[in-house]
């Protein structure tokens, strides 16, 4: 499938791959980055649904999530926030679960949408598609290959709580899963915040300097891979402020 252009308008011609069959069909003149956004958004939404058994959606901008969420009941404040136009300006490529929600998201310009369908005539993503185990990319004439990052994000990942405060409620675990999966598809190095109700969680903290910033944001739950030379200092700072801190032993760099 030919693409409108590559990462930049002067990078022509461009195409998606030499693969004969794809799990989707493009509608419109798609660019290289549009396709990267769409594929990453679809993968993130699929993993959110698998991990939490909840409706999920994600918004991508330049190959990183601008936001990700699961379908929990909104409170009154969240319903008010949802109506603000400036929030929608974050959305460029969004992967919503339900087609009826699409028209609510696109009062501002969006580069694309990837969904199971938006009308009876809409093209569907192949539900049987398997991306395979290996990923291959070519940079400056050199081909690189690695196993696809198929690490599963579940509640068990946050069971190693290294802080003195070990009270980790189910609501916070849901937030940690959402934040961790969003981070899995975010360009590294990054941190991810998630909020549901009064609890703010932060994933991927491995520097004592970040802890001070975390406290200013009201974060109550932290998760990080661990293994940093600053682990002890981070745990100490978390304990001083009653924060629940989990080590996952799982690094999720994405490039």
- The backbone torsions φ and ψ at residue 164, rounded to the nearest 5 degrees and listed phi first, read -65, -40
Which residues are part of the catalytic machinery? Answer: 61-62, 189, 255
Residue among 250, 193, 199, 201 at smallest CA distance from 227: 250
Contact predicate 82/50, CB 8 Å: no
CB-CB contact of 50 with 43 (8 Å): no
Cα-based distances in Å from 117 to 32, 65, 88: 22, 21, 21
Please state, in angstroms and rounded to a whole number, the distance separating the CA atoms of residues 58 and 96. Answer: 7
């Amino acid at each position: 499938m030919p693409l409108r252009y590559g990462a930049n308008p002067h990078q022509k011609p461009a195409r998606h791959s030499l693969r004969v069959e794809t799990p989707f069909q493009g509608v419109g003149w798609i660019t290289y980055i549009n396709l990267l956004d769409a594929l990453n958004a679809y993968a993130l939404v699929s993993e959110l649904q698998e991990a939490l058994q909840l409706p999920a959606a994600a918004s991508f901008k330049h190959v990183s999530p601008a936001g990700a969420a699961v379908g929990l009941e909104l409170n009154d404040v969240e319903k008010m926030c949802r109506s603000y136009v400036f929030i929608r300006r974050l959305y460029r490529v969004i992967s919503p679960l339900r087609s009826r929600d699409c028209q609510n998201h696109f009062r501002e310009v969006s580069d694309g949408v990837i969904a199971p369908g938006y009308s009876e005539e809409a093209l569907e993503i192949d539900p049987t598609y398997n991306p395979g185990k290996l990923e291959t990319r070519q940079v400056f004439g050199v081909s690189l290959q690695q196993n696809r990052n198929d690490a599963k994000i579940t509640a068990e990942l946050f069971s190693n709580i290294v802080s003195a405060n070990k009270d980790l409620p189910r609501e916070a675990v849901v937030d940690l899963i959402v934040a961790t999966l969003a981070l899995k598809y975010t360009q590294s190095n990054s941190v991810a915040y998630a909020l549901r109700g009064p609890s703010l969680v932060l994933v991927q903290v491995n520097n004592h300097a970040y802890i001070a910033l975390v406290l200013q944001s009201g974060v109550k739950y932290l998760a990080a891979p661990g293994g940093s030379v600053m682990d002890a200092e981070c745990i100490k700072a978390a304990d001083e402020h009653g924060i629940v801190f989990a080590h996952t032993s799982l690094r999720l760099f994405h490039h």
